[in-house]
Amino acid sequence: DTGVSQDPRHKITKRGQNVTFRCDPISEHNRLYWYRQTLGQGPEFLTYFQNEAQLEKSRLLSDRFSAERPKGSFSTLEIQRTEQGDSAMYLCASSLDGGLHEQYFGPGTRLTVT
């Protein structure tokens, strides 16, 4: 399978714990995006990378969130001191550089904070 993959698919954590998610984009894609989706809503943009550079961050991305893409390939999204409001599906997408926004999505990581 050469699509976008995400790991883990499900994560249950207690409030206050740190969690880290991983995204592996389609190999030739330079752009990588993170979105968050809550029940009854469409995906909401969090941040994106062009190769290893993080170019944009949404105001939804609080100081407890950090994302990296160290070698311009896979990316990680870490949430520190999780809160119940962080419970959501975290989606990763990738696209070709200059691909006029056509993005390919992974299956998502469902986070439940208890």
Partner 1 sequence: AQSVSQHNHHVILSEAASLELGCNYSYGGTVNLFWYVQYPGQHLQLLLKYFSGDPLVKGIKGFEAEFIKSKFSFNLRKPSVQWSDTAEYFCAFGGSQGNLIFGKGTKLSVKP
Give residues in contact with partner 1 (CB under 8 A).
4, 31, 33, 35, 40-45, 48, 55-56, 58, 91, 93, 100-108
How far out from the chain centre does Cα 22 lie? 8
Q: Which is nearer to partner 1, 7 or 80 (CB)?
A: 7
| Between 56 and 83, CB nearer to partner 1 | 56
For partner 1, the closer of residues 86 and 106 by Cβ is 106
Q: Which long-range contacts (C-beta less than 8 Å, at least 24 apart) are formed by 25-29?
A: 25/73, 25/74, 25/75, 25/92, 25/94, 26/2, 26/94, 26/104, 27/2, 27/73, 28/96, 29/94, 29/95, 29/96, 29/97, 29/104
When the beta carbons of 31 and 82 are compared against partner 1, the nearer one is 31
- Residue 106: Cβ-neighbour burial (10 angstroms; 0-12, 13-18, 19+): buried
